[in-house]
Amino acid sequence: MNPQSCVHIHKEWDIVGARQLGREMAKEIGFSTVDQARIATAISELARNIYLYADQGKISYEIIYNNSRTGLCLIAEDEGPGISDISQVMEDGFTTSGGLGAGLPGVKRLMDEFEAYSEIGKGTTIKTVKWLR
């Protein structure tokens, strides 16, 4: 895979940039306003996790094609502490922030495909795709 664009996350402000780029690309591909908002929210969650738990990392964006479908693929990567139990984190009701809905399970809901890889001490990679309907 050859990412077309990428946003580095160091400070909270970068989350806004990451959302913005994602929304612009989504709009360009032809996603509806609702889906644009969903993609931006998913990026927000991923970027905020990087900012909060890994200190820094990046989000890459790629327009992908599969048969006749077009999609937007997001990859969030960091070299932070990693997540020890991804299954647990993916359970509803787990978020440490105590809020409802958001977090990684939220990202999975907002998008169509979701994969997470993480190794303790090495970092976390989350890949997620939304297909144009």
Partner 1 sequence: MENFFKEKADEYKKLLAEYIEFQDEKALYGVELVSKAFIKHNILPEEIVNIHIKALKELYPDLFASFEHSLDFLLEAMISYGLAHQEIQNLREQQIALKSEISVAAQMQKTLLKTKKPDIAGLDIGVISVPANQMNGDYYSFLQNLDGTIGIAMADVIGKGVPAALCMSMIKYSLDSLPKESTPPPVILGNLNRVVERNTESNMFITMMYGEYNPETGKLVYSFAGHEPGYYYCADEDRFTEFSTAGLVLGVSEDVEYEQAEIEIAKNDMIVLMTDGVTECRDGDRFIEIDEVFDVIRQYLHLSAQDMVQEVYRYFERLQDFQLQDDFSLLILRKTV
Of 100 and 120, nearer to partner 1 (C-beta) is 100
Q: 10 Cβ partners below 8 Å, 6+ apart? A: 51, 56
Residue 78 interface partner, choices partner 1, Mg ion, ligand ATP, none, CB cut-off 5-8 Å depending on type: ligand ATP
Tokens of 36: 């644009």
Residue 105 interacting with partner 1 (CB under 8 A):
yes
Tell which one of 4, 5, 20, 32 touches partner 1 (CB under 8 A): 32
Residue 44 interacting with Mg ion (CB under 5 A):
no
Residue 103 interacting with Mg ion (CB under 5 A):
yes
Tell which one of 36, 44, 49, 128 touches ligand ATP (CB under 6 A): 49
Residue count, binding to partner 1 (CB under 8 A): 17
Stretch of residues binding Mg ion (CB under 5 A), selected from 7-15, 25-33, 48-56, 122-130: 48-56
The string of DSSP letters for the chain reads ---SEEEEESSHHHHHHHHHHHHHHHHHHT--HHHHHHHHHHHHHHHHHIIIIIS-EEEEEEEEEETTEEEEEEEEEE-SS--S-HHHHTSTT--TT--SS-HHHHHHHHSSEEEEEEETTTEEEEEEEEE--
Residues in contact with partner 1 by the rule CB under 8 A: 32-34, 37-38, 40-41, 92-93, 99-102, 105-106, 109-110
